[in-house]
C-alpha cells in the first residue's frame, strides 16, 4: 500500500482503542477475502495470460493495488485479455498515460460536501456515510480511488457523529451507507450502527450501496440478513453490476436472500468503454438483473477520475444507447442515464 489515501482491503486502519473482544472464528466471507488475488502476476497467471497478451502496468498496480475475489475470478474467461470482467480490475498501461483536461483526483469535489468525519451531505433529505474505505475488489474506474479514506471514515466505533447528525436534523429521512463497501464491516460493527438507528423515528429509509452480493456472495450470510431484517424502516440495497456475466448462481442466491430480508433491490452501473458499451450487453444486463429481482437505477457516465480516461464513453453515444434500449425494453427496465455535476442539488439525469 504505497499511498495511504487508497482504499485498503479489510480494515487495517481501524483504531485499536476498542474494548478487547473474544476472538471469533473467521466467517466464510472473511476466509474468501483472505484468498483474494492481490497481485498482477497472480491474476494473469490464474487466467493463463502473459504480460505479452495485454498492455498491463506494474506502476498502475502500485498506485491502486490489484484486488479480485476468488468468486469474481472464477467468472472470468481464461485466456481472454479482452474479457469484460477482467478489464474492470486489470491495471492497464492506459492508466499511466497523460489524462485529458478535467481528469483529476477528486472529480466530484467530495471534500467540499464533508459534514464531519466520513459524512457527506450533498442532497436534500439524504445523509451519506463513508462507512469504510475497504472494498472486496478494486475497480479501476472507481471515482473514489484517490479519496482520503484514512481520514474519512464514519465507522470504527465513531458512529456517534452519524447518529448525532440524524437526531439533530429531522429532515434527514434516509441514511446511505457507502464507502468503500459498507458490507465489508463485520456484523458486529454493523450491529453497533443499526441498533441505535431503530430509535430515530424521523429516519425512514436505510440505503446500502454495495458490490458484495455480486463480487463476494458469501458475505450475504444468515447473520447479516437477520441484522438487516431488524431495521424497522424501508431497507434499500443498491448493487453495482456492469456486465450480465457478473450475475452467476451464487450472486443470484445472495440477491434473493436480501429480498427475503425485505430489501428493495436496485442496480447502478457505470457505462464503460469495451465492457458494456454495446446494445446487446446492455439489453442482457438489465434483463438478467430483472430475472434476479433487481430493478434499474442509474447508468452513470464515467466520472473524470485521473487514470480512468480510457473507459470513457461520450455522452452522445450514451444517449443513443439509451434510446435504443427504450425502443426494446419495458420502461421500467431502462436505467436513468446520469452524470454527477459537482455543486448540483441532485445527480443530473440526461435521459
Ligand atoms: C449519489 C449521492 C447520493 C444519492 O443520490 P440519489 O440520487 O438519491 O441516488 C446522496 N449523497 C451523496 C453525497 C451522493 O454522492
Ligand atoms: S466501484 Fe465500488 S467496489 Fe469498486 S473500488 Fe469503487 S467503491 Fe470499491
Query: 342 and 256 share a domain?
Result: yes
The answer to the question of residue 104 being in a domain is no
Q: Where are the beta strands (DSSP E) in the chain?
A: 119-120, 126-130, 174-178, 205-210, 234-239, 264-270, 295-300, 336-339, 348-349
Select from 100, 178, 148, 143 the least CA-distant residue to 303: 143
The answer to the question of residue 50 being in a domain is yes
The pLDDT of residue 143 is: 74
> What DSSP state is assigned to residue 296?
E
Atom of ligand 2 minimally distant from the CA of 270: 1
SS3 351: coil
CA pair distance 57, 98, nearest whole angstrom: 14
Query: 71 and 135 share a domain?
Result: no
The answer to the question of residue 120 being in a domain is yes
Distance 87 CA to ligand 1 centre (A): 26
Predicted TM-score (pTM) of this structure: 0.91
Query: 196 and 117 share a domain?
Result: yes
Atom of ligand 2 minimally distant from the CA of 144: 6
The pLDDT of residue 153 is: 64
Task: Name the residue at shortest CA distance from atom 4 of ligand 2.
Answer: 139
Number of structural domains (the chain) is: 2
SS3 264: strand
Query: 128 and 251 share a domain?
Result: yes
Contacts of 178 (CB under 8 A, 6+ apart): 120, 128, 129, 130, 131, 209
Indicate if ligand 1 lies below 6 Å from the C-beta of 128.
Answer: yes
To test ligand 1's pocket by mutation, which of 165, 347, 349, 350 has the most ligand atoms within 8 angstroms of CB? 347
Query: 123 and 268 share a domain?
Result: yes
The answer to the question of residue 3 being in a domain is no
Query: 89 and 194 share a domain?
Result: no
Indicate if ligand 1 lies below 6 Å from the C-beta of 339.
Answer: no
Query: 81 and 222 share a domain?
Result: no
Query: 217 and 345 share a domain?
Result: yes
Distance 308 CA to ligand 2 centre (A): 13
To test ligand 2's pocket by mutation, which of 63, 138, 142 has the most ligand atoms within 8 angstroms of CB? 142
The pLDDT of residue 4 is: 34
Say if CB 180 and CB 134 are below 8 A apart.
yes
Number of the ligand closest to the Cα of 341 = 1
Query: 115 and 89 share a domain?
Result: no
Indicate if ligand 1 lies below 6 Å from the C-beta of 123.
Answer: yes
The answer to the question of residue 88 being in a domain is yes
The answer to the question of residue 14 being in a domain is no
Query: 91 and 119 share a domain?
Result: no
**Considering Cα of 106, then 107, then 111, then 114, what sign does the dihedral take?**
negative
Indicate if ligand 1 lies below 6 Å from the C-beta of 350.
Answer: no
- As for ligand 2, residues whose beta carbon falls within 6 Å of it are 135, 137-139, 142, 144, 179-181, 211, 240
Distance 180 CA to ligand 2 centre (A): 6
The range of the structural domain enclosing residue 68 comes to 28-96
CATH code assigned at 155 = 3.20.20.70
The pLDDT of residue 117 is: 74
User: Which residue carries 464513453 as its cell?
Assistant: 313
C-alpha cell of 190? 454493523
Distance 171 CA to ligand 2 centre (A): 29
To test ligand 2's pocket by mutation, which of 136, 211, 242, 340 has the most ligand atoms within 8 angstroms of CB? 211
Using CA atoms, how far residue 298 sits from 51, 185, 238, 251, 337, in Å, is: 35, 25, 10, 20, 6
Select from 223, 233, 231, 122 the least CA-distant residue to 178: 122
The answer to the question of residue 232 being in a domain is yes
pLDDT tens-digit profile of 176-209?
A: 999 899 999 999 999 999 999 999 999 999 999 9
Query: 122 and 249 share a domain?
Result: yes
CA pair distance 46, 74, nearest whole angstrom: 9
Query: 92 and 117 share a domain?
Result: no
The pLDDT of residue 296 is: 98
Number of the ligand closest to the Cα of 108 = 1
Question: Running along the chain, 351 residues long, what does each successive block of 10 average in pLDDT?
Answer: 35 46 82 97 97 93 95 98 98 96 84 77 94 94 72 65 95 96 96 95 98 98 98 98 98 98 98 98 98 98 95 98 98 96 91 89
Distance 127 CA to ligand 1 centre (A): 8
Task: Name the residue at shortest CA distance from atom 6 of ligand 2.
Answer: 142
The answer to the question of residue 303 being in a domain is yes
Amino acid at each position: 500500500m504505497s499511498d495511504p489515501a487508497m482504499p485498503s482491503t479489510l480494515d487495517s486502519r481501524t483504531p485499536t482503542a476498542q474494548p478487547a473482544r473474544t476472538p471469533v472464528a473467521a466467517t466464510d466471507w472473511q476466509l474468501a477475502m483472505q484468498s483474494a488475488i492481490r497481485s498482477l502476476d497472480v491474476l494473469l497467471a490464474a487466467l493463463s495470460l502473459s504480460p505479452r497478451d495485454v498492455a498491463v502496468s506494474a506502476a498502475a498496480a502500485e498506485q491502486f493495488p490489484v484486488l479480485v475475489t476468488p468468486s469474481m475470478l472464477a467468472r472470468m474467461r481464461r485466456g481472454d485479455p479482452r474479457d469484460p470482467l477482467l478489464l474492470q480490475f486489470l491495471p492497464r498501461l492506459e492508466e499511466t498515460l497523460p489524462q485529458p483536461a478535467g481528469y483529476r483526483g477528486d472529480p466530484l469535489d467530495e471534500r467540499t460536501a464533508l459534514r464531519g468525519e466520513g459524512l457527506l451531505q450533498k442532497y436534500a433529505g439524504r445523509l451519506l456515510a463513508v462507512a469504510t474505505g475497504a472494498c472486496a475488489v478494486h475497480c479501476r474506474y472507481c471515482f473514489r480511488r484517490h479519496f482520503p479514506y484514512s481520514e474519512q471514515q464514519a465507522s470504527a466505533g465513531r458512529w456517534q457523529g452519524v447518529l448525532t447528525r440524524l437526531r439533530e436534523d429531522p429532515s434527514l429521512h434516509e441514511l446511505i451507507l457507502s464507502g468503500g463497501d459498507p458490507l465489508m464491516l463485520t456484523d458486529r460493527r454493523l450491529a453497533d450502527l443499526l441498533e441505535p438507528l431503530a430509535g430515530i423515528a424521523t429516519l425512514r429509509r436505510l440505503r446500502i450501496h454495495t458490490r458484495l452480493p455480486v463480487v463476494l456472495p458469501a458475505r450475504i450470510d444468515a447473520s447479516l440478513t437477520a441484522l438487516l431484517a431488524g431495521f424497522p424502516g424501508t431497507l434499500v440495497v443498491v448493487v453495482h453490476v456492469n456486465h450480465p456475466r457478473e450475475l452467476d448462481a451464487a450472486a443470484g442466491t445472495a440477491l434473493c436472500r436480501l429480498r427475503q430480508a425485505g430489501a428493495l433491490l436496485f442496480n447502478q452501473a457505470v457505462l464503460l468503454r469495451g465492457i458494456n458499451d454495446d446494445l446487446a450487453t446492455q439489453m442482457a444486463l438489465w434483463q438478467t438483473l430483472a430475472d434476479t429481482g433487481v430493478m434499474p437505477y442509474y447508468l452513470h457516465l464515467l466520472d473524470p477520475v485521473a487514470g480512468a480516461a480510457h473507459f470513457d464513453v461520450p455522452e452522445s453515444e450514451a444517449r443513443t444507447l439509451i434510446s435504443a434500449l427504450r425502443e426494446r425494453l419495458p420502461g421500467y427496465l431502462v436505467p436513468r442515464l446520469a452524470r454527477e455535476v459537482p455543486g448540483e442539488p441532485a445527480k443530473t439525469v440526461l435521459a
